[in-house]
Structure 1
């Protein structure tokens, strides 16, 4: 048993562990520009936390793109991976928390709406792959967030009961998915203007200021408090 009893921790990746949104935005902007669509950062904020395939299906319908979603996904992944491999920033307090949890023997997993290729590239490029070895991508489950599938699959991979899992999430669909899975949720909104979304206000710990407010110490203290009988 770890220093936090039976608690297991599940991390979302994009916007939670790493600041990948700028890379996703640039890849998306380039892809949509090829189809005659002007795409802004404000447009991009609408899709934070939504699975890639769901986002592409929405774009295909909204912008009248006559290309299959699978083809769009391949092209978006190609563009994104080139950017991600070149430069992906890990939030410093998140890295500190992962290192502390690893040192304490706390079971951890990553559960992300990104493709497995993107997740593996980011974890390897940032060195987090040596600390976070249990991974579930949206490719491996029937439904993406806000459905609970990816978090339930991560719990099963860890051999943990959902009620003993704490999810760290930056987006409302992910917070919804965590609660649907029967898990506690630490919410760190990537878009802080969204902090009043019902999924965030229902979180067990809400850090309204997002990553600017998040600290490894605050997260550890919360995990220690819920690990007590």
Structure 2
């Protein structure tokens, strides 16, 4: 049933969602914008172009989307240079599954942050193909990035298992026709509709074994 496994990065391999929230929340506040109660949930899964436009046009940041993207990603790169927050057991899980299936990575992070995270975790050569939503027409929850990764792997999306943490990520992978293992972040629980789309929900990425993949 499964010919490949496609991982998300943020929230699955690296615990970067809280860092993204801290950086973007401070950026909005420092530039006269207004962070809304649902802002972080809306941003999760957006491409760089989408979230930078949202901060600029919807949250009142007095900077162009291009300036927003550059300045926020620069700050994230500085944070990563001080240390990438790797999720416990994630590297071991990825390596274990890579011994059984070809792996892809479908991430909303900018390409340079993907490269930094994979270098820090020693996983650069483990994934057959990696792709940022910077390189697709639409970010998550649209299926573009998952469809593109499956295509580059030469695998039918219906024969792929995706590993996601966010509601928009689950929606994206499901819309691509993949079976989804959801590993929600404790601070960002799945919306009910996204939880229903997941084939399996785990409490920690360390629970993701070959047997789990085989069973879904």
Give the structure-2-normalised TM-score.
Answer: 0.89
Q: What secondary structure is seen at the aligned counterpart in 2 of 1:111?
A: strand
State the partner residue of 2:16.
20
State the partner residue of 1:136.
131
| Residue 69 of structure 1 pairs with residue 65 of structure 2 | yes
Return closer, same or farther for 1:132/1:141 CA change in 2, 3 Å cut-off.
same
Q: What secondary structure is seen at the aligned counterpart in 1 of 2:6?
A: strand
Hey, what's the Cα distance between the residues in 2 that align with 1:80 and 1:31? 11
Q: How far 1:66 moved relative to its partner?
A: 3.2
State the partner residue of 1:210.
none
Q: How far 1:85 moved relative to its partner?
A: 2.3
1:129-176 deviations in Å (ceiling 9; x for gaps): 132241010111111111100001111111111011110011111111
State the partner residue of 1:197.
192
Residues 29-68 of structure 1: pairs in structure 2 closer than 5 A: 29-37=25-33, 39=35, 43-68=39-64
| Residue 127 of structure 1 pairs with residue 122 of structure 2 | yes
Return closer, same or farther for 1:196/1:44 CA change in 2, 3 Å cut-off.
closer
* Most deviating of 192-201 and 106-115: 192-201
Return closer, same or farther for 1:64/1:223 CA change in 2, 3 Å cut-off.
same
State the partner residue of 1:224.
214
Hey, what's the Cα distance between the residues in 2 that align with 1:41 and 1:82? 26
Residues 172-191 of structure 1: pairs in structure 2 closer than 5 A: 172-191=167-186
Hey, what's the Cα distance between the residues in 2 that align with 1:7 and 1:149? 19
Return closer, same or farther for 1:218/1:78 CA change in 2, 3 Å cut-off.
closer
Give the structure-1-normalised TM-score.
Answer: 0.84
Contact persistence 2:128–2:153 (CA under 8 A): no
Contact persistence 1:85–1:125 (CA under 8 A): no
State the partner residue of 2:155.
160
Q: How far 1:196 moved relative to its partner?
A: 4.5
1:24-56 deviations in Å (ceiling 9; x for gaps): 123213422331246599853553333333222
**Matched residues, number:** 216
Of 80, 86, 89, the match for 1:90: 86
1:172-194 deviations in Å (ceiling 9; x for gaps): 11111111101100011124663
Structure 2: any 5+ residue segments left out of the alignment? none
Hey, what's the Cα distance between the residues in 1 that align with 2:29 and 2:83? 22
